[in-house]
Amino acid sequence: MTVETGQGERQEQSGQQPRQPQQSLSTAAARNLATTTKSAPQMQEITSRWLLRMLPWVETKGGAYRVNRRLTHTVGDGHIEFLQDGADVRVIPGELAELALLRGFEDTAALTAVADRCVQRDFRAGEVLVERDTPADRIHLIAHGRVRQTSLGKYDDDVTVAVLADGDRFGENALLDADATWDYTATAETSGTLLTLTRADFASVMAASPSLQAHIHAFSSLPLQPQNRHGEAEIAMSAGHTGEVELPSSFVDYELHPREYELSVAQTVLRVHTRVADLYNGPMNQTEQQLRLTIEALRERQEYELINNREFGLLHNAAFKQRIQPHSGPPTPDDLDELLCRRRGTRLFLAHPRTIAAIGRELNARGLVPGHTEVAGEYVTAWRGVPILPCDKIPISRNNTSSILAMRTGEDNQGVIGLRQTGLPEEYEPGLSVRFMGINEQAIVSYLVTTYYSAAVLVPDALGVLENVQIARRRD
């Protein structure tokens, strides 16, 4: 508010002081003459990359690593895949070769005929699918859902035999054995879908297919191969004898076609303009900063491939007998114990950070406090002394389920190992090279950044996976 004085001037009546003239140099102007302190370029993509840090890296000359194992006689242990067309589900005919009695059978027409005889059945949570001690006359292929198998315990109580889920099956022996009975009760824990194939339908297809008849006859005529509990060819020996008994002779048989892991590659071309490299290198070298961030992104991609690549990624290379399902959905202490007990010398668990949070919730709900252990100078969550390390490369499905990996590591321990080759031309880091590619007509310098890597599972029980772990919060 202003009022006019007698001299016609206005005077401030609002209580504010009149603006004072500037008496010194402003900070905004002074900054033009000041040196600015800068940070190095930052990026959010960088993670802890525990898998790359924990894997023992084995030198792989020639770009390939061959895993020699004892001969095994176990067949037909794979999961079965399905096709979905709306609410209709059907089995992929070629996937039926995962059944032990159809292993190696390649008659597409006969497999298609068998697949066409599979009948879809939708089930609801709590439904009893088969009863213990009743005749078994069909095989069940689980397309989606979780099924618990229970049997009679020592003290006449129900005990869990197994928990099955997508891609599993039960009742395979019923297709050829007319006297087969169910030795467990199968109960649906969730709603889902399965396909059934009866013994009568299978016999009908076999009667019309001479090739299938010949295959089943050959399968039934195979002599039982002596093997240990891991399916490896047995080494005959004698123990506990006295006197001059004739000792059995034996030899250790090897797989005739061992698996070879070839090194995979991740590459990119880094381009830097010479004008940038010449004029703007202070106080930080532009080429070095560009290269540092590029290598960080390349290492992130390397860890992603080690987890998810279909050829050598750990999620896809875990043996099917080493894949288990949670008992109730969330990752409970019982689930971690079952995953832990399936191998000797488990070195680490690997899980998505959200999965680790779900583990903590389940422990807290039971009044348990998660342990901690020191790994590489850092304290991390642990279960029974085994560290649970975060890895955000493990996928989370749309229905909020994920996986937990448990592994034994090291070549001497017959575990999981990383593969790489060092001594590359213009090597910048072990197994990673940065090669100058020249300058083009636009004065742009190009560098080829390359890393070679893979992973190998030396024996099947070195790696286990707890699948379909529910990590969403449950409503109270």
Please tell me the predicted confidence (pLDDT) of residue 13: 54
The pLDDT of residue 139 is 93
- Rg over CA atoms, the chain: 32
How far apart CA 111 and CA 209 sit, in angstroms, is 10
How confident is residue 353, by pLDDT bands cut at 50, 70 and 90? very high
pTM: 0.76
Structure tokens at 247: 């000792």
Question: What would the pLDDT profile of 449-472 be if each residue is shown by its tens digit?
Answer: 999 999 999 998 999 999 989 998
Burial of 206 (0-12, 13-18, 19+ CB in 10 A): buried
Q: Which of 66, 74, 64 is nearest to 322 (CA)?
A: 74
Identify the sign of the CA torsion 192, 198, 202, 204.
negative
The pLDDT score that the predictor gives to residue 302 is 96
Question: Tens digit of pLDDT for each residue in 42-70?
Answer: 999 999 999 999 999 999 998 999 998 87
User: 111 pLDDT band (50/70/90 cuts)?
Assistant: very high
Q: In sequence order, what are the residues at sequence separation of 6 or more whose Cβ sits closer than 8 angstroms to the Cβ of residue 381?
A: 356, 359, 360, 370, 371, 372, 387, 388
Angle 201-137-82 from CA coordinates, rounded to 5°:
60
Three-class SS state of 189: coil
Q: Is the pLDDT of residue 221 over 80?
A: no
Q: What pLDDT does 120 receive?
A: 93
Cα–Cα distance measured from residue 397 to residue 405, given in angstroms and rounded to the nearest whole number: 16
pLDDT digits (tens, 9 = 90+) for 229-284: 666 666 776 676 677 777 776 666 667 788 899 999 999 999 999 999 999 988 89
Predicted pLDDT of residue 30: 87
pLDDT tens by residue, 126-155: 899 999 999 999 999 998 888 999 998 877
Higher pLDDT, 14 or 346: 346
Confirm if 280 and 419 have CB atoms less than 8 A apart. no
What pLDDT shows up at residue 248?
72
pLDDT of residue 292: 95
Q: Is 446's pLDDT higher than 80?
A: yes
- pLDDT confidence of residue 228: 63
Bigger pLDDT: 4 vs 183: 183
1 pLDDT tier (thresholds 50, 70, 90): very low
